[in-house]
Amino acid sequence: MTENTSKNIKFTCRDVRVSYSGKEAVKGIDIEIADRSVTAFIGPSGCGKSSFLRVFNRMNDTIPGCAVTGDIRMDGEDIYAPGLDPVLLRARVGMVFQKPNPFPKSIYDNVAYGPRIHGLAESKADLDEIVHNSLKRAGLWDEVKDRLKDSGTGLSGGQQQRLVIARAIAVSPEVILMDEPASALDPIATAKLEVLIEELKEKFCIVIVTHSMAQAARISQKTAFFHMGDLVEYDETDQIFTNPAELRTQDYIMGRTG
């Protein structure tokens, strides 16, 4: 047994299906996702990996006509149970999107937004500390510490994406979902982001959707390959990239499909 599989299981999914107005985008997926590690979802566009990612924080609920079925458990608790409030779930499962989406507020207020709405800070000093720690963990503190009152939308793309990560960290989630977080960034910003993800996995369960197979190979411990709404193969990242069991996985990795 390797180091990764020995870790705790964060999510357990059984026969998860996602459909948009009756059209099925995710077709019955079983998967277990480990805590404190990076799990990468790869596959061609339209394969259902982003739809599946949005299952974990119930972001699909906000899309009209979208239906999710199946059994999805986080630490053994059914996150689609009728009485469960998605607002509380999302405080524990953060998300970073493809395009950096800082609010049109100051850098400070961007990070303080979550703690404020969830009442995490007792005092201004508490809040200052949360903002400081979050920016520090996101690797942005040194770049913005002198201009916390400046607008978050004035930062560069890479800084914005790290600001958004700081914003997600500030509510102390257990999981951070990332939907192609580097696709709008240049190679240097991407490299910084990857270093950050590497550090974050010590404390968080990270699930990342990526179009870059090199990125998946660099940062993830386990990789899941999706195709046409199916989970084709799910294994240790090394295994997937060096010795895939499925022909479809091999074709995709070698650039023959997708």
Q: How far is the CB of 130 from another protein (least distance, A)?
A: 13
Q: Which is nearer to another protein, 6 or 62 (CB)?
A: 62
Compare residues 115 and 244 and give the one whose CB is closer to another protein.
Answer: 115
User: What is the DSSP track for 206-255?
Assistant: EEEE-S-HHHHHHH-SEEEEEETTEEEEEEEHHHHHHS-SSHHHHHHHTT
Distance (Å, rounded) from C-alpha 17 to C-alpha 73? 14
Closer CB to another protein, 101 or 133, in the complex: 101
For another protein, the closer of residues 171 and 205 by Cβ is 171
Q: In angstroms, rounded to a whole number, what is the distance separating the alpha carbons of residues 145 and 102?
A: 17
**Alpha carbon of residue 40 to chain centroid:** 9
> Smallest gap, in angstroms, from Cβ of residue 101 to another protein?
4
Rounded to a whole number of angstroms, the minimum distance from the CB of residue 170 to another protein is 8
Interatomic CA distance for residues 51 and 99, integer angstroms: 16
Closest CB to another protein among residues 92, 136 = 92
- Alpha-carbon span 159 to 152, nearest angstrom: 9
Q: Which residues bind another protein (CB under 8 A)?
A: 57, 59, 62, 64, 87-92, 94-95, 97, 99, 101-105, 113-114, 117-118, 153, 164, 167-168, 171
- For the chain, first and last CA: distance in Å? 32
CB 120, CB 111: distance < 8 Å: no
Q: How far is the CB of 102 from another protein (least distance, A)?
A: 8
Minimum distance, C-beta of residue 152 to another protein, in the bound complex (Å): 11
In the numeric block, the tokens 């913005």 are attached to 144
Residues 204 and 216: their CA atoms lie apart, in Å, by 17
Q: What is the DSSP letter of 8?
A: P
Give 33 or 240: the residue with its C-beta nearer to another protein: 33
In the complex, minimum distance from the CB of residue 135 to another protein, in angstroms, rounded to a whole number: 16
